[in-house]
Amino acid sequence: MQMMKSGLTQENQIEKDLVLLINSISSTILPGKDVGTGPTGKLSTILQERISEAGRVALQYNEVNIAESICIFLGKARLNSQRAYILNEYNRAELLIKKSGSVIDKNGMRLNSTQMKMQEIKRRKEALEILERTMITNKKLDDPELIYEGAILIWNISLPFLNPIYNSFVYKSFEIASSSLEYIQSNDHGLRVNFHLELAKLELQKDQALKAEPHIRKALALDYSKPLDQIEDMEAGEAKSLYQRTYDRILYSLKEKIRLKLTNNPETDIERVILSSTRS
């Protein structure tokens, strides 16, 4: 399993190895039979976790049918492992994105492009709702690895929503992910800054400067600097140090907007333009 997770197994071998692994645990998983129909219906905590991990690997390599069979199987089982439950919820959420929805409505009519788009939005929102609930369970289990994986999933699934039309859909998910990463003191400061940045923008969009300010403050306090030897594509004549903290420019810009909104006392023409732009 670890070799597959680490990418050390050849991709053309993944499906075969997953099938062998899953069938060695229970022959009732992949055919989609009901739990309990065979001698391996009741599984130990370790085997429940192993199956749910196999689902994560299946999705990593886009083996959607295998992941779906695992989700169905574990969904019918009585899980006595919180870790297995959380991993399977991750599988459920990611399946909503990786598996296409129905192209036929309940009346047997083919969906048009607008209906397909609405279905995609609905499935993505449902995936985020699953992850929101699961991240709360995560804190009870207090497993930093699982919390971090959940935050990554939230970020990746939310990316198409990061625009003025749909960004309100990610607010709760981002709040939970951001606070969870802060709770485990994650060293992925770049991800944490992104969550704080998007939350600050959302608060400003709602004219909530007081709520935006802590996110900017926390983002600026994080060390997300790039090593100098990793900086490329610089503008001619600019210092490398300007590219070490790539988010600073937008963070300080938002910090100034927040200050002007809170004081409501622009002193220069530039400050009046900035303040005016935050109200538009």
Of the candidates 101, 128, 131, the one whose C-alpha atom is nearest the C-alpha of residue 116 is: 101
Cβ distance 137 to 82 under 8 Å? yes
CA–CA separation, 217 and 196 (whole Å) = 9
The CA radius of gyration of the chain, in Å to the nearest whole number, is 23
Contacts 24+ apart (CB under 8 A), 139-143: 139/180, 139/183, 140/82, 141/82, 141/83, 141/86, 143/83, 143/86
What phi and psi values does residue 32 have, to the nearest 5 degrees?
80, 25
Burial bucket for residue 143 (CB in 10 Å: 0-12, 13-18, 19+): middle
pLDDT at residue 129, rounded to an integer: 97
Residues 6+ away with beta carbon under 8 Å from 76: 34, 35
Sign of CA dihedral 225, 227, 228, 231: negative
Cβ distance 116 to 160 under 8 Å? no
CA–CA separation, 112 and 26 (whole Å) = 41
**Full DSSP string of 161-205:** G-STTTGGGGHHHHHHHHHHHHHTT-S-HHHHHHHHHHHHHHHHH
Residue 163 CA to chain centroid, in angstroms? 16
Helices 144-158 and 113-141: crossing angle in degrees, nearest 10, is: 160
CA–CA separation, 124 and 105 (whole Å) = 18
CA–CA separation, 154 and 23 (whole Å) = 31
Lookup: tokens for 146: 């699982």
How do the pLDDT tens digits run along the chain, 280 residues long?
A: 777 877 778 888 889 999 999 999 988 899 744 444 333 457 899 999 999 999 999 999 999 999 999 999 999 888 889 999 999 999 999 999 999 888 888 888 999 999 999 999 999 999 999 999 999 999 888 899 999 999 999 999 999 999 999 999 999 999 999 999 999 999 999 999 999 999 999 999 998 999 999 999 999 999 988 776 676 666 666 666 667 788 998 999 999 889 888 887 666 766 666 666 655 4
- The angle formed by the CA atoms of residues 109, 113 and 119, to the nearest 5 degrees, is 80
CA–CA separation, 40 and 28 (whole Å) = 8
Residue ranges per structural domain of the chain? 1-99, 112-186, 209-228+240-280
**Full DSSP string of 56-71:** HHHHHTT-HHHHHHHH
pLDDT at residue 280, rounded to an integer: 47
